[in-house]
């Protein structure tokens, strides 16, 4: 087993947190507002799956945890999880709020001895609001890029990520980091997000397509949010069914690429898939398509979320293992 695993459970969070090896529970069962506690994250996105899924990040060693400077932290001897609420003051620029939050998070990761960021989740309100370079996702990208730059993280160190919008309330950023460097991967079918052309915003999105954390006992693979983007363009704008086919092909291509590059005997096996969709009406069709592709055994978590490009209807992410 790898030193860190991701599993889905329908058991109550308090019960799951009784184990001292649980780094964090990400609770998708209680929609509504962001809620953070000791080793507990409710990201505030509405769950569209019938099962009350909770995502359980487990280590192979006991975990310690605490709260410092508004950042909830927990770590084992190998991996760190940090979570921070994003409160936007009236009239405050989202880019500035994100830059400050990233600055704190990256500073704490480094100070605690886990400078190698593996995976970041970003959830905040009204991601598509605002026009042109003023669109909130583009402002978010500016703040994130500034913070990475200021902290000395170059493109080669960008982690896997997701950035998803919701209907209102506070945002949250949470991340996983390690003491030892992981390997980051791009998708040969896609232009690297950090090389997207200017038309997508003043600063390109700072993330890798996938990140692999290898350990003696195996490896954990983090797939970034993946959508119907080939090259840098959206295919099948606004069409969830068409976008699903392209997105699945992107994921399969990425898994093959990782296996080849990392000299794995086989592509990593996905232990869970999360799907974000803009229109809840598309959930039944999306679920059928995902089941047909991934089979009955892989947990599927469907969440109502806004994708960062307005013409994107769905986005998928996942965790894999070998
Ligand atoms: C894309 O391929 C789709 O800004 O962190 C996917 C994953 C996307 C992460 C991010 C954006 C991000 O560009 C959008």
Taking every pair of C-alpha atoms in the chain, what is the biggest distance, in angstroms?
A: 53
Distance 225 CA to ligand 1 centre (A): 6
Residue 272 has pLDDT above 70, yes or no: yes
User: pLDDT digits over 287-305, tens only?
Assistant: 999 999 999 999 999 999 9
What residue numbers bound the domain in which 280 lies? 4-321
Q: Residues, the chain, total? A: 322
What pLDDT score was predicted for residue 309? Answer: 98
Measured between alpha carbons, how far is 186 from 176 in angstroms, rounded to an integer?
A: 19
User: pLDDT digits over 56-97, tens only?
Assistant: 999 999 999 999 999 999 999 999 999 999 998 888 899 999
Index of the ligand 1 atom closest to the CA of residue 190? 2
User: pLDDT digits over 307-322, tens only?
Assistant: 999 999 999 999 999 9
Residue 106's closest CA among 156, 155, 151, 158?
151
Residue 3 has pLDDT above 90, yes or no: no
Residue 50 has pLDDT above 70, yes or no: yes
Of 131, 315, 317, 321, catalytic: 315
Determine which residue's CA is closest to atom 7 belonging to ligand 1.
225
What pLDDT score was predicted for residue 252? Answer: 98
Residue 289's closest CA among 256, 243, 254, 225?
243
The residue to which tokens 């047909």 are assigned: 292
The DSSP 8-state label assigned to residue 204 in this structure reads: -
pLDDT-based confidence at residue 99 (cuts at 50, 70, 90): very high
Regarding the beta carbon of 162 and ligand 1, being less than 6 Å apart is answered yes
Regarding the beta carbon of 251 and ligand 1, being less than 6 Å apart is answered no
Measured between alpha carbons, how far is 193 from 208 in angstroms, rounded to an integer?
A: 7
Over range 108-119, report the average pLDDT. Answer: 98
What pLDDT score was predicted for residue 1? Answer: 58
Cross-strand partners of 115: none
Output the domain CATH number for residue 278.
Answer: 3.30.1330.40
CB atoms within 10 A of CB 29: 14
CB atoms within 10 A of CB 198: 9
- CA distances, 204 to each of 207, 259, 266 (Å): 9, 27, 32
User: pLDDT digits over 257-268, tens only?
Assistant: 999 999 998 999
Over range 201-230, report the average pLDDT. Answer: 96
Distance 17 CA to ligand 1 centre (A): 31
| Torsion-angle region of 187 (φ positive above 0: left; ψ -120 to 50: alpha; else: beta) | beta
Half-sphere exposure of 155 (CA within 13 A, CB side): 10
What pLDDT score was predicted for residue 216? Answer: 81
88 classed as catalytic: no
Regarding the beta carbon of 143 and ligand 1, being less than 6 Å apart is answered no
User: pLDDT digits over 157-188, tens only?
Assistant: 999 999 999 999 999 999 999 999 999 999 99
Average confidence score pLDDT of the chain: 96
Domains contained in the chain, number: 1
């Amino acid at each position: 087993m790898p030193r860190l695993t991701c599993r889905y459970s329908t058991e109550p969070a308090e019960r799951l947190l009784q184990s001292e090896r649980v780094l964090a529970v990400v609770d998708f069962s209680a929609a509504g507002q962001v809620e953070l506690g000791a080793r507990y994250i409710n990201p505030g996105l509405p769950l569209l799956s019938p099962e009350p899924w909770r995502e359980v990040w487990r280590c192979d060693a006991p975990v310690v945890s605490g709260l410092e400077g508004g950042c909830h932290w927990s770590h084992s001897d190998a991996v760190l999880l940090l979570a921070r609420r994003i409160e936007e003051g009236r009239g405050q620029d989202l880019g500035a709020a994100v830059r400050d939050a990233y600055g704190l998070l990256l500073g704490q990761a480094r100070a605690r001895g886990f400078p190698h960021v593996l995976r970041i989740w970003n959830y905040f309100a009204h991601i598509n609001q605002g026009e042109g370079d003023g669109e909130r996702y583009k402002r978010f990208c500016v703040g994130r890029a500034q913070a990475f730059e200021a902290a000395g993280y170059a493109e080669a160190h960008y982690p896997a990520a997701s950035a998803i919008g919701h209907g209102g309330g506070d945002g949250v950023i949470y991340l996983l980091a390690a003491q030892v460097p992981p390997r980051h991967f791009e998708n040969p079918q896609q232009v690297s997000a950090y090389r997207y052309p200017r038309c997508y915003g003043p600063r390109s999105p700072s993330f890798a397509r996938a990140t692999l954390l290898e350990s003696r006992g195996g490896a954990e693979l983090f797939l970034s949010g993946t959508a119907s983007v080939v090259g840098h363009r959206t295919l099948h704008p606004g069409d969830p069914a068409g976008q699903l086919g392209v997105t699945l092909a992107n994921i399969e291509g990425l898994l093959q690429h990782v296996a080849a590059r990392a000299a794995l005997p086989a592509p990593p096996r996905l232990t869970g898939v999360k799907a974000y969709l803009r229109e809840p009406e598309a959930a039944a069709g999306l679920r059928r398509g995902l089941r047909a592709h991934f089979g009955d055994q892989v947990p599927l978590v469907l969440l109502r979320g806004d994708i960062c490009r307005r013409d994107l209807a769905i986005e998928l992410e996942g965790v894999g293992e070998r």
